Structure 1
Amino acid sequence: MPLTERNEPGFSASDALFSAGRTPLEILKQVYGYSSFRGKQQQVVEHLVAGGDAVVLFPTGAGKSLCFQIPALCRDGIGIVVSPLIALMRDQVEAMKQLGIRAAALNSSLSREEFIAVRRALSAGQLDLLYVTPERILTDGFRELIANEKIALFAIDEAHCFDASPVFAQNQELSQVAN
């Protein structure tokens, strides 16, 4: 499948995120700089924006991340992304920041000061996406941290990296985290 043409983003992503009526395609074009979705991305994105659930199995490089990032930006609240790979979290957060998307990560590599800064940003409504490790997501501390937050969606990235660890043996608890 040929790559979709990439345009230069034309405005601040923060403007797009908080202006009413932005569609997934508008966010794709104006924030990410792509003219159209590829393959089944649009179908997945629209389903998630409407509040549906999805398991997305695309090959490497097919744009799985857009399938949870764009719905999180279209919906009210913060998108929480569970990722088992700290290096990938760093890369994703940096890429989001380059696009003007307010993103952060909570993982064991953060200093106390960095953790406090993320917590403050979350409490102040200054984050669009929060990447979290599987170990942290089910802790009481994390539940308290997001207790008053409006959750746009939960996404599990790189699900093939998860094993039957005790963290996800409690997978029924994941739905309770947002309640």
Structure 2
Amino acid sequence: MNRAQSILQSTFGYDAFREPQGEIIHELEQGRDAFVLMPTGGGKSLCYQIPALLRDGTAIIVSPLIALMQDQVDALNQLGIKAAYLNSTLNVAEAREVESQLLNGALDLLYVAPERLLNPIMLSLLERCHIALFAIDEAHCVSQWGHDFRPEYQKLRVLHERFPQVPRIALTATADQRTRDEIIAQLQLEGARVFINSFDRPNIHYAISEGNNPKLRLWRFIQENHAQDAGIVYCLSRKKVEATAEWLTEQGRIALPYHAGLSQELRQKNQQRFLRDEGVIIVATIAFGMGID
């Protein structure tokens, strides 16, 4: 754990692990599986990023959200960590370059969409590589009881079947007991150590606002609490995303839409503006991951 502590401080800039990050990292470093239930903002990504640097080979991170992949890869590259992603935003030449880096052992972490990972060509490519670990992020997508069920996630048991010696970690922030049981069964993680962290987060505040004229209440909340701040407004439909972004723009804020119906170029452009400019509001469906920093 001395090496893990050193990486935490020198690379990521933190003095100490939060509970139970250290134990999770130790399990993976030793080649054992783990199932992690930890709240958003609780530090889940470090639980696989540090073992990715401790173990030989490339860590393969399965993620369903393009925005989250781009956000994490950008952040890791800024820290000097060799990370990349493979998803539908890349053209053929860009994807081949990433695959070449993977084959040559030039990557510490590779983020892959589940659909891409399950492609027979991709699985064959992975069999020619040295893999440090598999991290299955947003693992609740495996559950048919969830609102963002992804059938591809249930097929990820193939990782255990084809790469039995490679440790796996499944992570989620949203799973009741039934969903946890389903994740463990579907991903064949019966032998994994289970970590459930406290969801008491004093820095996160939840409030419910009821009444007429929700736009006015939203505007009042922003003006009174975040008049100059960047932020995210989530909506249940693409139509509501477009209408809310347009309305906030009319009120004088920079508000940009993000949903799966927009072109890849526009989504990428809006995400970059959110990350780089001051005071930008993203209005989004859950296609824009809540794990965005």
Scaled to the shorter chain, the TM-score interval is 0.7 to 0.9
| Alpha-carbon distance in structure 2 between the residues aligned to 1:147 and 1:113 | 22
Are residue 52 (structure 1) and residue 63 (structure 2) matched? no
Amino acid at match of 2:54: C
Residue 141 of structure 1: SS of its match in structure 2? helix
- The residue that corresponds to 1:178 in the other structure is 163
Q: Distance in 1 between matches of 2:153 and 2:141?
A: 12
Select which of 37, 45, 48 maps to 1:68. Answer: 48
The 5 Å alignment of 1:34-53 reads: 34-53=14-33
Contact 1:138 1:177 in 2 (8 A): no
Which residue, out of 46, 49, 59, partners 1:79?
A: 59
Deviation at 1:177, TM superposition (A): 4.1
Greater percentage in strand: 2
Distance 1:162 1:109 in 2: 23
- Percent of aligned positions that are identical: 50
Alignment of 1:122-161 (within 5 A): 122-161=102-141
Matches of 1:172 and 1:37, distance apart in 2: 30
1:96–1:129 Cα change, 3 Å = same
- Please report how far the alpha carbon of residue 171 of structure 1 lies from its aligned counterpart in structure 2 after TM superposition: 3.3
Q: TM-score, normalised by structure 2?
A: 0.52
| Aligned mates of 2:25, 2:100 — CA distance in 1 | 29
Aligned to 2:8: 28
Residue matched to 2:152: 167
Amino acid at match of 1:176: E
Q: Find the counterpart in structure 2 of residue 120 from structure 1.
A: 100
Preserved CA contact (<8 Å) 1:72 1:153: yes
Runs (5+) with no aligned partner, structure 1: 1-20
Assess if the C-alpha contact under 8 Å between 2:141 and 2:153 holds in 1: no
Q: For residue 69 of structure 2, what is the aligned residue in structure 1?
A: 89
* Mapped partners of 1:121, 1:172: distance in 2: 26
* RMSD over aligned Cα atoms: 1.7
Instruction: Provide the rounded CA distance (Å) in 2 between the counterparts of 1:166 and 1:62.
Output: 27
In 2, are the aligned partners of 1:84 and 1:162 still within 8 Å (CA)?
A: no
What TM-score do the two structures reach when normalised by structure 1? Answer: 0.83
Q: Hey, what's the Cα distance between the residues in 2 that align with 1:22 and 1:152? A: 19
Q: Is contact 2:56-2:130 (8 Å) kept? A: yes
- Matched-pair contact (CA < 8 Å) for 1:22–1:74: no
Can you list the C-alpha shifts for 1:96-147, whole angstroms capped at 9, x where unaligned? 1011110010111111121011011112211000000111111111112212
1:99 and 2:79 matched? yes
Gaps of 5+ in 2: 145-149, 165-293
The number of residues matched between the two structures is 159
Once residues 57 and 173 of structure 1 are traced to their aligned partners in structure 2, the CA distance between those partners, rounded to angstroms, is 22
